[in-house]
Amino acid sequence: MAVMEGSLSKWTNVMKGWQYRWFVLDDNSGLLSYYTSKEKMMRGVRRGCVRLKGAVIGIDDEDDSTFTVTVDHKTFHFQARDAEERQKWVHALEETIIRHGSRTRWDSHHPSPTIKDFDNKVSEADAYLQLMIEQTKKLEERITTMTDQDEKAKCQLILEHANVMLDNIKHSIVLLQIAKNTAHPVNGIYHQRPGPSNNVSSQEIVSAPGEAVVQQGIELGSECLENARRLSRTIGESILHSTECCVHVSD
């Protein structure tokens, strides 16, 4: 669940300067995700993320618009428009850090999620997906009967966004099932599917000095790579805390 989102500038060592980014703070996952623009966020193309569990917020008294987030021996520098905006972000970030810092104690009083719980959540997500597909079809049928061009254009824009969301939801459900099969393979053996997805050609790789190698369509970031190794083990728990799913990151 996103508790806050908006624009901030992020210092990048590659460009040696401040870069505009659109940030989304997810309180459930404990991630501060960022995108190159709000439009990229709407399309689900994430540029990177910062894991907030165990993070420390730093404030520069001489500059009322900048702050830092230090986690896993890395420090990220951010710049808000003014002191008021910085205070809003710092407060929201600190609340998320505190929540995730006490999550271990909170979880100890509750039973661990089971595969059945996971399957129930995926089934629930699929049911909502079917409802959205039906509503989208009705909207598409309605557009064909419209005579007002302005109204038709507005509905067409809504339809385009709805179709993008449908694709993202379908993709997320597939990823969840893959993660489940990886963590709990049939007959105790996981067989990786052969195919072109296992081999990335040189044309599909884009790299730049100081940046992580990026596969076309999926942007990877060093600050979140370690979490990918834990995905198959923790996906059952994370789906219970959030119905929102996201993948891919970079600097």
How high is the pLDDT of residue 177?
A: 83
Of 230 and 56, the structure prediction assigns the larger pLDDT to: 56
How high is the pLDDT of residue 127?
A: 86
How high is the pLDDT of residue 57?
A: 94
**Tally of CB atoms within 10 A around 48:** 24
How high is the pLDDT of residue 117?
A: 81
**Segment 127-154 mean pLDDT:** 91
Q: What is the pLDDT of residues 8-17, one digit of tens each?
A: 999 987 778 9
Instruction: Inform me whether the pLDDT recorded for 218 exceeds 50.
Output: no
**Rounded to the nearest 5°, which phi and psi values hold at 9?**
-100, 140
Average pLDDT, the chain: 75
How high is the pLDDT of residue 70?
A: 94
pLDDT band at 116 (very low <50, low <70, confident <90, very high): confident
Class of domain 1-110+198-251: mainly beta
pLDDT band at 192 (very low <50, low <70, confident <90, very high): very low
Instruction: Inform me whether the pLDDT recorded for 201 exceeds 50.
Output: no
Instruction: Inform me whether the pLDDT recorded for 236 exceeds 70.
Output: no
Among 6, 14, 2, 65, residue whose Cα is nearest residue 35: 6
- Per residue, the 3-state secondary structure of 195-237, as one string, reads CHHHCCCHHHEECCCCCCCEECCECCCHHHHHHHHCHHHHHHH
How high is the pLDDT of residue 100?
A: 84
